[in-house]
């Protein structure tokens, strides 16, 4: 809960400056983009990103799109390429997200990428979004500003209905967009259409001069069986462990003796922010991972969902 309630900021220079300030403090601000209202949090601040999930009540962690003010800003976080340059020239600012390998020293929270070594970046076209991103001068993670499972918000009133009291502020600039999401193109390997959206496939292929790999069946990322695109540790994972067995390393939650603690205080936001980094670190030990019980309430549901997937038997 936000102590002083959700603030309503008008879409003028003073509202934008206040919104940028709140984001820099690690608080959440909903803002208009040309697709839908986004729920923004500082992508470098794991606890800010965790609170996006908490505010939306999302039951699982998916990678989020990092919004930036310009292609130049994007290049601070990802390894740029000729193909990225062509698509950015043609479609940015606009409803196109590019997935590219992270670059060294990127500083982006692993909760934004869900532990992957790639990042989705986008330069939105909406003037308020651009002004805000310029003022923040950093990457802003922003899924749609609605509670999980509810319809995407295209007005500040929709955002208020869903998230009032759960976020610091709403930057209100009237109705935006048509609720169509950004097209997502993967450029970390062979160019691939990861999600259809506001920029059409044929136009992207024309600019690249090559066909995109894609699945005719629709959303590749949310389709069942596509979970291999998400980070999973190499090591086996055992949940609800009370203590180590054999040569296991122990991932803890709360006041327990362990190798890595998600949150010694038992704070679920802190635990979510630490989750992927802790898994990577323990995975690096080459030993099996045991995890002490984590409550199922609030963000615990999403943390447990991710851990259950990590613990599930592998196909290969």
Residues that bind ligand AMP (CB under 6 A): 62-65, 99, 113, 116, 118-120, 143, 181, 184, 194-195, 221, 229
Site string for Mg ion, 120-149 (x = CB under 5 A): ------------------------x-----
- The residue among 221 and 232 lying less far from ligand AMP, judged by its C-beta, is 221
- The residue among 181 and 270 lying less far from ligand AMP, judged by its C-beta, is 181
**Count of residues that bind Mg ion according to CB under 5 A:** 1
Which residue's structure tokens are 């020239």?
89
Q: Are strands 65-67 and 169-172 parallel, antiparallel or unpaired?
A: unpaired
Report the run of H or E that residue 98 belongs to, with start and end.
strand 96-101
Nearest approach, Cβ of 167 to ligand AMP (angstroms)? Answer: 16
- The residue among 193 and 303 lying less far from ligand AMP, judged by its C-beta, is 193
Which residue's structure tokens are 């300030």?
21
Burial letters 196-217, b for 16+ CB under 10 A, else e? bbbbeeeebeeebeeebebeee
Nearest approach, Cβ of 169 to ligand AMP (angstroms)? Answer: 19
- The residue among 45 and 183 lying less far from ligand AMP, judged by its C-beta, is 183
- The residue among 148 and 267 lying less far from ligand AMP, judged by its C-beta, is 148
Write out the two tokens for 31: 């803002």
Distance of alpha carbon 16 from alpha carbon 130, whole angstroms: 10
| Cis preceding linkage at 262, omega within 30 | no
Nearest approach, Cβ of 156 to ligand AMP (angstroms)? Answer: 19
* 15 in Cβ contact with 174 (< 8 Å): no
Residues that bind Mg ion (CB under 5 A): 144
């Amino acid at each position: 809960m936000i102590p002083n309630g959700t603030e309503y900021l008008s879409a003028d220079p003073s509202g934008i400056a206040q919104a940028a300030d709140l984001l820099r403090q690690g608080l959440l601000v909903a803002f208009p983009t040309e697709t839908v209202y986004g729920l923004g949090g500082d992508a470098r601040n794991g606890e800010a990103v965790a609170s996006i999930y908490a505010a939306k009540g999302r039951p699982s962690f998916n990678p989020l799109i990092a919004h930036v003010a310009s292609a130049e800003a994007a290049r601070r976080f990802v390894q740029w390429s000729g193909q990225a340059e062509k698509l950015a020239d043609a479609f940015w600012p606009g409803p196109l997200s590019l997935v590219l390998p992270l670059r060294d020293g990127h500083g982006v929270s692993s909760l934004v990428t869900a532990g992957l070594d790639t990042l989705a970046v986008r330069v939105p076209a909406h003037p308020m979004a651009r002004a805000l991103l310029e003022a923040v001068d950093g990457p802003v993670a922003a899924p749609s500003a609605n509670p999980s499972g509810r319809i995407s918000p295209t007005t500040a009133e929709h955002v208020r209905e869903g998230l009032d009291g759960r976020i610091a502020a709403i930057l209100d600039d009237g109705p935006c967009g048509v609720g169509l999401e950004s097209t997502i193109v993967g450029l970390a390997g062979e160019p691939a259409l990861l999600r259809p959206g506001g920029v059409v496939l044929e136009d992207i292929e024309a600019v690249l001069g090559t066909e995109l790999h894609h699945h005719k069946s629709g959303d590749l990322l949310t389709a069942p069986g596509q979970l291999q695109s998400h980070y999973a540790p190499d090591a086996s994972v055992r949940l609800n462990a009370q203590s180590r067995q054999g040569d296991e390393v122990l991932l803890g939650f709360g006041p327990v003796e362990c190798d890595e603690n998600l949150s010694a205080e038992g704070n679920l936001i802190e635990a979510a922010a630490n989750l992927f980094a802790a898994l990577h670190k323990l995975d690096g030990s080459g030993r099996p991972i045991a995890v002490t019980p984590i409550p199922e309430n609030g963000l615990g549901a999403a943390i447990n969902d991710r851990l259950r997937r990590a613990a599930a038997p592998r196909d290969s």
